[in-house]
Amino acid sequence: MDLNALEAKLQFVFKNKDILRTALTHRSYLNEHRNYPLPNNERLEFLGDAVLELAVTGYLYENYPNPEGELTNLRSALVNYRMLSAIAGDCDLESHLLLSRGEAKDAGRARQVILANAMEAVIGAMFLDGGYDRTHEFIKRHVLTKLPEVIATKSYIDPKSHLQELVQEKSGITPAYQVLSEVGPDHNKVFTMGVYIGSQKVGEGTGPSKQEAEVTAAEAALKEGTWKQFV
Protein backbone atom coordinates (compact mmCIF):
# COMPACT_ATOMS: atom_id res chain seq x y z
CA MET A 1 0.00 0.00 0.00
CA ASP A 2 1.54 3.31 -1.13
CA LEU A 3 0.65 5.84 1.53
CA ASN A 4 2.56 8.84 0.15
CA ALA A 5 -0.40 10.23 -1.80
CA LEU A 6 -2.70 9.88 1.22
CA GLU A 7 -0.21 11.55 3.55
CA ALA A 8 0.04 14.43 1.07
CA LYS A 9 -3.75 14.82 1.14
CA LEU A 10 -3.79 14.65 4.94
CA GLN A 11 -0.77 16.97 5.20
CA PHE A 12 0.46 14.62 7.87
CA VAL A 13 3.50 12.33 7.50
CA PHE A 14 3.44 9.36 9.86
CA LYS A 15 6.59 8.19 11.58
CA ASN A 16 4.99 4.76 12.07
CA LYS A 17 3.28 3.78 8.82
CA ASP A 18 1.72 0.71 10.41
CA ILE A 19 -0.46 2.92 12.61
CA LEU A 20 -1.90 4.51 9.47
CA ARG A 21 -2.27 1.10 7.79
CA THR A 22 -4.20 -0.12 10.83
CA ALA A 23 -6.49 2.92 10.64
CA LEU A 24 -7.33 1.94 7.06
CA THR A 25 -8.08 -1.72 7.84
CA HIS A 26 -11.76 -2.58 8.12
CA ARG A 27 -12.55 -5.70 10.13
CA SER A 28 -14.13 -7.35 7.08
CA TYR A 29 -10.74 -7.33 5.35
CA LEU A 30 -9.27 -9.56 8.05
CA ASN A 31 -11.98 -12.16 7.45
CA GLU A 32 -10.61 -12.67 3.94
CA HIS A 33 -6.93 -12.20 4.82
CA ARG A 34 -6.30 -14.31 7.91
CA ASN A 35 -2.54 -13.80 7.78
CA TYR A 36 -2.67 -10.00 7.62
CA PRO A 37 -0.28 -8.87 10.37
CA LEU A 38 -2.17 -5.82 11.63
CA PRO A 39 -5.43 -5.46 13.61
CA ASN A 40 -8.59 -3.75 12.38
CA ASN A 41 -9.22 -0.05 12.94
CA GLU A 42 -11.95 -0.21 15.59
CA ARG A 43 -9.76 0.67 18.60
CA LEU A 44 -8.27 3.61 16.70
CA GLU A 45 -11.79 4.69 15.77
CA PHE A 46 -12.71 4.71 19.48
CA LEU A 47 -9.67 6.87 20.26
CA GLY A 48 -10.15 9.21 17.30
CA ASP A 49 -13.78 9.82 18.18
CA ALA A 50 -12.73 11.11 21.62
CA VAL A 51 -9.88 13.25 20.25
CA LEU A 52 -12.14 14.79 17.61
CA GLU A 53 -14.91 15.54 20.08
CA LEU A 54 -12.45 17.16 22.50
CA ALA A 55 -10.95 19.38 19.79
CA VAL A 56 -14.32 20.49 18.43
CA THR A 57 -15.80 21.01 21.89
CA GLY A 58 -12.84 23.13 23.01
CA TYR A 59 -12.97 25.28 19.88
CA LEU A 60 -16.72 25.89 20.21
CA TYR A 61 -16.44 26.70 23.91
CA GLU A 62 -13.64 29.22 23.33
CA ASN A 63 -15.17 30.93 20.30
CA TYR A 64 -18.96 30.78 20.66
CA PRO A 65 -20.91 32.10 23.67
CA ASN A 66 -24.00 30.10 22.70
CA PRO A 67 -26.01 28.10 25.26
CA GLU A 68 -24.99 24.50 25.90
CA GLY A 69 -27.80 23.04 23.75
CA GLU A 70 -26.77 25.06 20.68
CA LEU A 71 -23.11 24.16 21.15
CA THR A 72 -24.10 20.49 21.31
CA ASN A 73 -26.02 20.83 18.03
CA LEU A 74 -23.09 22.58 16.34
CA ARG A 75 -20.71 19.88 17.51
CA SER A 76 -23.04 17.14 16.30
CA ALA A 77 -23.22 18.74 12.86
CA LEU A 78 -19.41 18.72 12.63
CA VAL A 79 -18.77 15.16 13.82
CA ASN A 80 -21.73 13.18 12.43
CA TYR A 81 -21.15 10.39 9.94
CA ARG A 82 -22.26 12.42 6.95
CA MET A 83 -19.80 15.22 7.63
CA LEU A 84 -16.95 12.84 8.42
CA SER A 85 -17.60 10.76 5.31
CA ALA A 86 -17.48 13.95 3.23
CA ILE A 87 -14.17 14.92 4.86
CA ALA A 88 -12.89 11.39 4.18
CA GLY A 89 -13.83 11.98 0.54
CA ASP A 90 -11.90 15.25 0.50
CA CYS A 91 -8.85 13.31 1.72
CA ASP A 92 -9.34 10.44 -0.77
CA LEU A 93 -9.49 7.96 2.10
CA GLU A 94 -11.74 5.57 0.19
CA SER A 95 -9.15 4.55 -2.36
CA HIS A 96 -6.80 3.48 0.44
CA LEU A 97 -9.26 1.50 2.59
CA LEU A 98 -8.79 -2.22 3.01
CA LEU A 99 -12.23 -3.86 2.77
CA SER A 100 -13.65 -7.27 2.00
CA ARG A 101 -15.05 -7.76 -1.48
CA GLY A 102 -18.58 -7.62 -0.06
CA GLU A 103 -18.05 -4.43 1.91
CA ALA A 104 -16.37 -2.81 -1.09
CA LYS A 105 -19.68 -3.10 -2.95
CA ASP A 106 -21.69 -1.27 -0.29
CA ALA A 107 -23.08 2.11 -1.22
CA GLY A 108 -25.21 4.83 0.31
CA ARG A 109 -25.39 5.13 4.07
CA ALA A 110 -23.40 1.93 4.72
CA ARG A 111 -20.44 3.27 2.76
CA GLN A 112 -20.71 6.66 4.47
CA VAL A 113 -20.53 5.01 7.89
CA ILE A 114 -17.46 2.98 6.90
CA LEU A 115 -15.73 6.13 5.65
CA ALA A 116 -16.69 8.14 8.74
CA ASN A 117 -15.38 5.41 11.04
CA ALA A 118 -12.13 5.24 9.07
CA MET A 119 -11.77 9.01 9.32
CA GLU A 120 -12.07 8.77 13.11
CA ALA A 121 -9.51 5.94 13.08
CA VAL A 122 -7.07 8.07 11.08
CA ILE A 123 -7.50 10.88 13.61
CA GLY A 124 -6.76 8.37 16.37
CA ALA A 125 -3.66 7.25 14.46
CA MET A 126 -2.53 10.87 14.13
CA PHE A 127 -2.90 11.36 17.86
CA LEU A 128 -0.77 8.29 18.65
CA ASP A 129 1.86 9.09 16.04
CA GLY A 130 2.16 12.87 16.34
CA GLY A 131 0.41 14.00 19.51
CA TYR A 132 -2.56 16.26 20.16
CA ASP A 133 -1.22 19.51 18.73
CA ARG A 134 -0.47 18.08 15.28
CA THR A 135 -3.80 16.27 15.25
CA HIS A 136 -5.59 19.46 16.24
CA GLU A 137 -4.02 21.22 13.25
CA PHE A 138 -5.56 18.61 10.96
CA ILE A 139 -8.96 19.01 12.66
CA LYS A 140 -8.77 22.79 12.26
CA ARG A 141 -7.98 22.48 8.55
CA HIS A 142 -10.50 19.82 7.64
CA VAL A 143 -13.31 19.89 10.21
CA LEU A 144 -13.54 23.30 11.84
CA THR A 145 -13.38 25.04 8.46
CA LYS A 146 -16.83 23.52 7.80
CA LEU A 147 -18.34 25.51 10.66
CA PRO A 148 -19.23 28.73 8.75
CA GLU A 149 -21.19 26.68 6.19
CA VAL A 150 -22.93 24.72 8.96
CA ILE A 151 -24.02 27.98 10.60
CA ALA A 152 -25.00 29.70 7.33
CA THR A 153 -27.16 26.79 6.17
CA LYS A 154 -28.47 26.04 9.68
CA SER A 155 -27.61 22.40 9.09
CA TYR A 156 -26.93 22.10 12.83
CA ILE A 157 -30.69 22.29 13.35
CA ASP A 158 -32.54 19.00 12.92
CA PRO A 159 -33.95 19.17 9.34
CA LYS A 160 -37.45 18.12 10.46
CA SER A 161 -37.52 20.83 13.14
CA HIS A 162 -36.12 23.41 10.73
CA LEU A 163 -38.70 22.62 8.05
CA GLN A 164 -41.53 22.64 10.57
CA GLU A 165 -40.38 25.99 11.95
CA LEU A 166 -40.27 27.57 8.47
CA VAL A 167 -43.59 26.16 7.32
CA GLN A 168 -45.45 27.02 10.52
CA GLU A 169 -44.05 30.55 10.48
CA LYS A 170 -45.50 31.08 6.99
CA SER A 171 -48.76 29.17 7.18
CA GLY A 172 -49.37 27.63 10.59
CA ILE A 173 -49.41 24.17 8.94
CA THR A 174 -47.37 21.29 10.37
CA PRO A 175 -45.64 19.12 7.74
CA ALA A 176 -46.77 15.48 7.72
CA TYR A 177 -44.87 12.36 6.70
CA GLN A 178 -46.13 9.30 4.84
CA VAL A 179 -44.52 5.98 3.94
CA LEU A 180 -44.15 5.77 0.15
CA SER A 181 -42.45 2.37 0.05
CA GLU A 182 -40.82 -0.24 2.24
CA VAL A 183 -38.54 -2.81 0.63
CA GLY A 184 -36.03 -5.45 1.68
CA PRO A 185 -35.84 -8.11 4.40
CA ASP A 186 -36.57 -7.24 8.02
CA HIS A 187 -32.88 -6.96 8.91
CA ASN A 188 -32.11 -4.66 5.98
CA LYS A 189 -35.18 -2.53 5.26
CA VAL A 190 -35.10 0.58 3.09
CA PHE A 191 -37.91 3.05 3.70
CA THR A 192 -38.96 5.84 1.38
CA MET A 193 -40.88 8.65 3.08
CA GLY A 194 -42.64 11.68 1.65
CA VAL A 195 -43.11 14.97 3.48
CA TYR A 196 -46.35 16.80 2.73
CA ILE A 197 -47.82 20.23 3.26
CA GLY A 198 -51.51 19.55 3.14
CA SER A 199 -51.91 17.21 0.17
CA GLN A 200 -48.78 18.42 -1.64
CA LYS A 201 -45.59 16.37 -1.49
CA VAL A 202 -42.64 18.72 -1.04
CA GLY A 203 -39.82 16.24 -0.42
CA GLU A 204 -38.87 12.57 -0.54
CA GLY A 205 -36.12 10.61 1.15
CA THR A 206 -34.89 7.10 1.89
CA GLY A 207 -33.23 5.50 4.90
CA PRO A 208 -32.83 2.31 6.92
CA SER A 209 -35.58 3.46 9.30
CA LYS A 210 -38.68 5.60 8.97
CA GLN A 211 -37.09 8.27 11.16
CA GLU A 212 -33.94 8.55 9.03
CA ALA A 213 -36.01 8.58 5.84
CA GLU A 214 -38.11 11.41 7.28
CA VAL A 215 -34.95 13.40 8.01
CA THR A 216 -33.73 12.84 4.45
CA ALA A 217 -37.13 13.91 3.07
CA ALA A 218 -37.04 17.09 5.14
CA GLU A 219 -33.50 17.79 3.94
CA ALA A 220 -34.65 17.37 0.32
CA ALA A 221 -37.56 19.77 0.88
CA LEU A 222 -35.25 22.37 2.41
CA LYS A 223 -32.66 22.01 -0.33
CA GLU A 224 -35.12 22.14 -3.21
CA GLY A 225 -37.29 24.84 -1.66
CA THR A 226 -40.45 23.22 -3.02
CA TRP A 227 -42.29 23.81 0.26
CA LYS A 228 -42.38 27.57 -0.45
CA GLN A 229 -44.99 27.07 -3.20
CA PHE A 230 -47.57 25.73 -0.75
CA VAL A 231 -47.42 28.11 2.20
Q: Where are the domains of the chain?
A: 4-153, 159-230
Report whether 193 contacts 205 (CB < 8 A): yes
Weakest mean pLDDT among 91-95, 124-128, 185-189: 185-189
Q: Quote the pLDDT of residue 186.
A: 82
Residue positions annotated with a catalytic role: 49, 120
**Helix (H) or strand (E) segment spanning residue 182:** strand 176-183
Taking only the tens place, the pLDDT of each residue in 13-38 is 999 999 999 999 999 999 899 899 99
Q: Determine how many CB atoms are found less than 10 A away from the CB of residue 183.
A: 10
Q: Is 117 annotated as a binding residue?
A: yes
Average pLDDT, the chain: 92
Q: Determine how many CB atoms are found less than 10 A away from the CB of residue 185.
A: 6
Architecture of domain 4-153: Orthogonal Bundle (1.10)
Nearest-angstrom CA–CA distance, 17 and 14? 6
Side-by-side strand order, sheet with 176-183: 176-183, 190-197, 200-207
Q: What is the CA radius of gyration of the chain?
A: 20
Judge whether residue 106 has pLDDT over 70.
Answer: no
Specify which of 1-10, 84-93, 153-162 reaches the highest per-range mean pLDDT.
84-93
Q: Quote the pLDDT of residue 139.
A: 98
Q: Quote the pLDDT of residue 94.
A: 92
pTM of full prediction above 0.85: no
Write the CA distances from 93 to 8, 135, 156, integer angstroms: 12, 17, 25
Tell me what the mean pLDDT of segment 119-123 comes to: 98
Architecture of domain 159-230: 2-Layer Sandwich (3.30)
Q: Which residues contact 47 (CB under 8 A, 6 or more apart)?
A: 124, 127, 128
Judge whether residue 39 has pLDDT over 80.
Answer: yes
Nearest-angstrom CA–CA distance, 38 and 197? 53
Side chain identity at 40, as an amino acid letter? N
Q: Which letter does DSSP use for residue 229 in this model? A: G
Better-predicted residue by pLDDT, 91 or 102: 91
Tell me if residue 180 falls in helix, strand or coil: strand
* Chain length of the chain: 231
Q: Quote the pLDDT of residue 157.
A: 86
Closest CA to 112 of 204, 208, 4: 208
